[in-house]
Amino acid sequence: MTLTKILSGKDVCKSVYTSLEERIKRLKAKRIVPGLAVILVGEDPASQVYVRSKSRRFERLSLYSETFAMPGTTSEKEILRKIRKLNMDDRFHGILVQLPLPKHINEDAVLREVSPLKDVDGFHPENIGRLAVGNPRFIPCTPKGIMRILEFYDIDLSGKHVVIIGRSNIVGRPLSLLTSQKKPLSNATTTICHSKTPDIRYFTKQADVVIAAIGVTQFVDETYIKPGAILIDVGINQIPDDSEKKYRLVGDVHYDRINGIASAVTPVPGGVGPMTIAMLVENTVESAEARL
Ligand code: GUN
């Protein structure tokens, strides 16, 4: 039986924050405090948790962040007006619109309104286009964090078959661009599986690296992988248990079933999750440095 190595995102985060400290100091010496504006529309509990952990991290690093909470009934026009105001506000180097937005809001229109120069989530079509042609400005935080974990643990994707389950604009789609790009440590042959793929196992069983980003609790088990595969778990799902909180977090990978079969796996919690926030900070610092 192989020992399945745990690819801790927390350890990667530590090194990211250590190198950011120096850059933040340099900016502050020039009287620039990296600032992030977060727009949160509605009362989605998961979004509230994410937004709170983002602002706590900015606070811990003595960076500036402000959350603009708007009721779920806010019109699209009002959101667009708010974004235009923030685009002109020099305190903010980054603007993040927390997704999902309420159903009556056109998400595309909102993401297009964010200045591409402040789009630290990398969701503006201009920034996605730049990523697609190999000249990225801001790289979406979760995919960037996953690439950073692989780099930290010396996992070179070159010539490997990467299978991504999930085609979202937040994770799967940009990750397919990053893993297959013509750059050191990338150069993978990448396959995207999704809800209309008839036999996902057919692809994942051939994969050297499986990236699970579907939001289905413990979806990937031993029947999906070949021995020695590397698994990246992007899922954050709650399952009931008898702890004080009444639930625990599990990923899209069934850890107990793949343990001893996969060669490495990112844990949940403590894997990809903390990397997303670290990359958000990094993108905001990058944006502030563009002002130097
Ligand atoms: N909702 C889930 N993930 C994300 C993310 O990375 N950024 C934003 N803005 N919203 C999200």
Atom of ligand 1 nearest to the CA of 99: 10
Pocket of ligand 1 contains residue 283 by CB under 6 Å: no
Residue 1 clears pLDDT 70, i.e. is over it: no
Which pLDDT score, from 0 to 100, does residue 25 have? Answer: 98
Quote the ligand 1 centre to 55 CA distance (angstroms).
14
Mean pLDDT, the chain, rounded, equals: 97
Euclidean distance between CA atoms 33 and 25, whole angstroms: 9
Atom of ligand 1 nearest to the CA of 280: 6
Q: Whose CA is nearest to atom 9 of ligand 1?
A: 98
Quote the ligand 1 centre to 98 CA distance (angstroms).
5
Pocket of ligand 1 contains residue 97 by CB under 6 Å: yes
Atom of ligand 1 nearest to the CA of 96: 9
Is 140-273 a CATH 3.40.50.720 domain? yes
Range list for CATH 3.40.50.720 in the chain? 140-273
Which pLDDT score, from 0 to 100, does residue 66 have? Answer: 98
Euclidean distance between CA atoms 115 and 176, whole angstroms: 24
The pick from 170, 236, 237 for probing ligand 1's pocket by mutation, whose C-beta has the most ligand atoms within 8 angstroms, reads: 170
The CATH number fitting domain 31-115, selected from 3.40.50.410, 1.10.3720.10, 3.30.1490.190, 3.40.50.10860: 3.40.50.10860
What is the H or E stretch that residue 66 is in?
strand 64-70
Residue 2 clears pLDDT 80, i.e. is over it: no
pLDDT tens digits for range 249-277: 999 999 999 999 999 999 999 999 999 99
Euclidean distance between CA atoms 212 and 74, whole angstroms: 34
Other C-beta atoms lying within 10 Å of the C-beta of residue 69: 14
Range list for CATH 3.40.50.10860 in the chain? 31-115
Instruction: Please report, as a single letter, which amino acid is at residue 92.
Output: F
pLDDT tens digits for range 36-92: 999 999 999 999 999 999 999 999 999 999 999 999 999 999 999 999 999 999 999
Pocket of ligand 1 contains residue 170 by CB under 6 Å: yes
Residues with catalytic roles: 54, 98, 121
Pocket of ligand 1 contains residue 141 by CB under 6 Å: yes
Q: Are 162 and 188 in contact (CB under 8 A)?
A: yes
Q: Are 80 and 113 in contact (CB under 8 A)?
A: yes
To the nearest 10 degrees (0 to 180), the angle between helices 172-180 and 125-132 is 30
